[in-house]
Amino acid sequence: MKTIGKLAKELGLGVETIRFYEREGLIKQPQKPQNGYRVYDDSITKQLQFICRAKALGFTLKEVASLMSMGGDCARVESLGLQKLRIIQSKINDLQGLEVVIKEMTNSCRNNNDQSHCPIIDSIK
Amino acid sequence: MKTIGKLAKELGLGVETIRFYEREGLIKQPQKPQNGYRVYDDSITKQLQFICRAKALGFTLKEVASLMSMGGDCARVESLGLQKLRIIQSKINDLQGLEVVIKEMTNSCRNNNDQSHCPIIDSIK
DNA sequence: GTAAACTCCGTAGGTAAGTACGGAGTCAAT
DNA sequence: ATTGACTCCGTACTTACCTACGGAGTTTAC
């Protein structure tokens, strides 16, 4: 049993962030004793770790909420995962395209001897 | 010479977006004749295309403003480019990591026969 | 026993890059 | 001459995800 500050510290989150997740319906407000302070047990830690991991995997908070509400509906979870996968793959593609373009640009810059203007600026114009 | 609506249409931008870029200092407010309407010549088209291209390369509007103010300082432009390149490469890395994890997760889902719970949800818990 | 640290709540602010609104003036076509 | 489209301006709203503030009550450490 711990209070919100300890929980936050334990997970590397801000107190406000935990309250925010509660407001957003990602976690439930725990029982509060006489003094009005939130008191958490260990199950909340798992839930918050779930949220953090899913976030790290690129899911938005809304999607995390969906995932959590799906319980164990494997087909639906899988479909959300596949959808994320497609998005991630297309992002990778885009970024690799950018990588090539920017590499070319900085190379042309490196080889430029004319101080009066820059091939990147010129080419982008 | 064209008014803001035509310019916007020509570039596929919104009128408000052009006004926004003006407010942000990316482009200058053009001369306005008696009626108060903005009137643009062709040089603005190049500037806005520059902005759009740089944005497509992953530069933020602030960075675009920097680039534009650098004139032809090749070394500085190159350094901004290389910095972007590093960011892009690390993003690609991260996303490829995610790709692997999500692939594994959806695969385990696909092979799951137990309807009562989902390996993705289980593993993330 | 008192000062520091913690918690409560609701609301406001911040970021990035726009997008929308409202009321007023202006221009083009019929 | 009137309708509809266009423009002006400043401000507020949007999305996603927090972060900060203010003022009050509570707990902990010395």
* The pLDDT of residue A124 is above 60: no
Confidence at residue A36, expressed as pLDDT on a 0 to 100 scale: 95
Confidence grade of residue A16 (pLDDT, cut at 50, 70, 90) = very high
- Predicted confidence (pLDDT) per residue in B79-88, tens digit: 888 888 888 8
Q: Report which of residues B44 and B78 the model is more confident about.
A: B44
* Interface A-B: count of C-beta contacts within 8 A: 123
* The pLDDT of residue A125 is above 60: no
| B98 contacts on A by Cβ (under 8 Å) | 57-58, 88
Confidence at residue B88, expressed as pLDDT on a 0 to 100 scale: 81
| CA pair distance B13, B5, nearest whole angstrom | 9
Complex ipTM: 0.72
Domain segments of chain A as ranges: 1-69, 72-125
- Predicted confidence (pLDDT) per residue in A44-103, tens digit: 998 999 899 888 877 889 988 888 887 667 888 888 888 888 888 888 888 788 788 888
Mean of pLDDT over chain A:
85
| B71 contacts on A by Cβ (under 8 Å) | 117, 121
Confidence grade of residue A120 (pLDDT, cut at 50, 70, 90) = low
Architecture of the domain spanning A1-69: Orthogonal Bundle (1.10)
Is the minimum CB–CB distance between A50 and chain B shorter than 8 Å?
yes
